[in-house]
Structure 1
Amino acid sequence: MLTRNDLIEYGETTGFNLGQIEKDYIQHMFLINLYRRIGNELVFKGGTALQKCYGLNRFSEDLDFALFKIISFDEVINRTIKGMNLFGCEADFKKLKEDEIAISFQIRARGPLYDGREKSLTYIRIEISKREKILLPVLKKDVVPIYRDLPPYLISVMNPSEIMAEKVRAIITRDRARDIYDLYFLLRKKIKTGIGLIEEKLLYYNVEFDIDTFLISVERKEKLWYNELNQLIPNVPDFQVVKKEIESWMRKQKQE
């Protein structure tokens, strides 16, 4: 495992603060050990998938997955934790909740910044959706961590067009500015999605898609924009510029 001084070297490369660099490092360590033990049973998705697999330049806290094939969650997570221990990172986990819809775990790790105090532990939340359908072909991506002691690894990740549809859904169903930033990132990468896919994703919440409702939901995030994103990215873009591009894209979707 790297040391505190090692992590400091990656500050300029990542744009993250030291605590975020540590969490990013441990996220990679978890994913390496997880995907050594499974194939496409769990499909990586969400903001951290965009950051690890598609080049999103913002820090992301949680690891989100969709269940593709039935597995023994406790056994897989336990074996993953044992693998992290072999990397020199002492870790354990606890199940936070489980129902017919989802399961969540919390990983607790003694990373490079651990100094013996409880508050210096690193916590990573794992969310697994058990019932949501995966609608587009799952992709296999080679991930090459920047950290010199971590090997490349192969990961099963959600198609970016499907992540994009889920980001539109997230903008409608919750109030987080990061969802707008992630959608903006995907638009600038020329990723495409369609109204039909968005509507399919909203069925999970029994919500009908309406463009005006979506645009109102975008507008509502302005009050959260700077304070939230200032903690996640080095340079926060102007909200009005981002909103204009998203509105233009969505109105074109309506015409198609």
Structure 2
Amino acid sequence: MVIEEKMKNIVIRLQQDGADVLFIRSSLKEYLQSYVLNFVYENPKYSKSMVFSGGTCLRKVYGINRLSEDLDFDLLDPVDLNDFCTEIDAYFKKKHLFQGFSLNKRPNDQQITLKFKILDYLNLASGSESPLLHVKIDLSPNNSEHYKVETKLLNDFDFSYLVKHYDISTLFAGKILAILNRSRLWGAENMETIKGRDYFDLLWFLQKEIIPNYERLFDLARKESDVYGEMKDDSLVKSSLIKTLDEKVELANTKFKQDFERDLLPFISNSSIIEGFVDSYWENYSRLKGVLLGRK
């Protein structure tokens, strides 16, 4: 019951601080993420192949001021997902004695959903609500030779481990591509929407004056789009990417403004700042985007 009791203490502390249930659930996921990362990076079978990426990497390694829900890894070498699932199942059930654990791997897919039956015990699910808290693991092949990997010692809740992760410029390139390429549907009617957290991260990179890894950005853009594939001049690709990014940001602040705000709710401790953050977003983006052109 060690995991369950520690999660209960997290809930009590956050409730005393006035946190809403969405933020509490995200905080519990952040705690569980530490177990998954410890499993990956204490295992030589996976630590050499799996490069930590995405928003949770920004949170754990670089300290971005928002929570994150999924774990993203790029694979330098193939990983046997059946072995991975068997071993992480034993890790939670046998090593950490969490019997309310299960997982699901979709056929022919590289996404694994870890399921923790805990919300009923924590009084965070009632009635028809599911007692399961999900943590998703997304695995993707590394499709570009242009990247930089670093290693950092993380002191993460109950664990210390060496995590292999992309450097911040490579992560920025990945975030720009996610904004440009991500297609997301929401609700029963499958309405087009956005991930507001992507735009939150974009502004964070710009505020830090980070230059994206343009070699990687150009390489992957050309591989993923025939339009960019036909452009031989990097400067043309760059100007086109930034123009499209401008258009995406404008849509996020107009057509998808409510979606932008709603998506951030589970990940920001002080939800009262979200409306003001989104209202001022275009002004701040316009002021800072010169970083993308090498102007600070």
Normalising by structure 1, report the TM-score.
Answer: 0.84
Residue 84 of structure 1 and its aligned partner are, at CA, apart by 2.0
- Does the 8 Å contact 1:48/1:62 carry over to 2? yes
Deviations 1:78-133 (A, max 9, x none): 2122122212323222211425xxx1111112347547988112211111112522
1:108 to 112, 115, 121: 115
Residue identity opposite 2:105 in structure 1: K
2:209 to 182, 190, 199: 190
2:105 to 90, 95, 98: 95
| Structure 2 CA distance for partners of 1:199 and 1:13, relative to 1, 3 Å | farther
| RMSD, matched Cα | 2.8
Residue 50 of structure 1 and its aligned partner are, at CA, apart by 0.8
Which structure shows the bigger proportion of residues in helix conformation?
2
Unaligned runs of 5+ residues in structure 2 are 183-193, 229-236
- Does the 8 Å contact 2:111/2:137 carry over to 1? yes
Give the match for residue 213 of structure 1.
Answer: 244
Unaligned runs of 5+ residues in structure 1 are none
Residue 225 of structure 1 and its aligned partner are, at CA, apart by 2.2
Residue 193 of structure 1 and its aligned partner are, at CA, apart by 1.6
| Structure 2 CA distance for partners of 1:135 and 1:182, relative to 1, 3 Å | same
- 1:55-94 superposed matches below 5 A: 55-85=63-93, 86-90=95-99, 91-94=101-104
Give the match for residue 244 of structure 1.
Answer: 283
Counterpart Cα distance in 2 of 1:10 and 1:188: 31
Give the match for residue 7 of structure 1.
Answer: 10
Counterpart Cα distance in 2 of 1:67 and 1:14: 36
Give the match for residue 29 of structure 2.
Answer: 23
Deviations 1:154-190 (A, max 9, x none): 2111111111111111222233221110111122233
Residue 46 of structure 1 and its aligned partner are, at CA, apart by 0.6
- Does the 8 Å contact 2:146/2:215 carry over to 1? no
- Does the 8 Å contact 1:94/1:105 carry over to 2? yes
| Structure 2 CA distance for partners of 1:59 and 1:240, relative to 1, 3 Å | same
202-211 vs 74-83, greater mean Cα deviation: 202-211
Normalising by structure 2, report the TM-score.
Answer: 0.74
Counterpart Cα distance in 2 of 1:128 and 1:160: 19
| Structure 2 CA distance for partners of 1:88 and 1:177, relative to 1, 3 Å | same
Residue 59 of structure 1 and its aligned partner are, at CA, apart by 2.0
Radius of gyration: which is bigger?
2
Answering whether residue 198 of structure 2 is matched by residue 179 of structure 1, we say yes
1:135 to 146, 151, 155: 146
Aligned length: 250
Residue identity opposite 2:163 in structure 1: I
1:122 to 130, 133, 148: 133
Residue identity opposite 2:31 in structure 1: Y
Deviations 1:194-223 (A, max 9, x none): 544422232342263412221011111122
Q: Please state whether the residue corresponding to 2:156 is helix, strand or coil.
A: coil
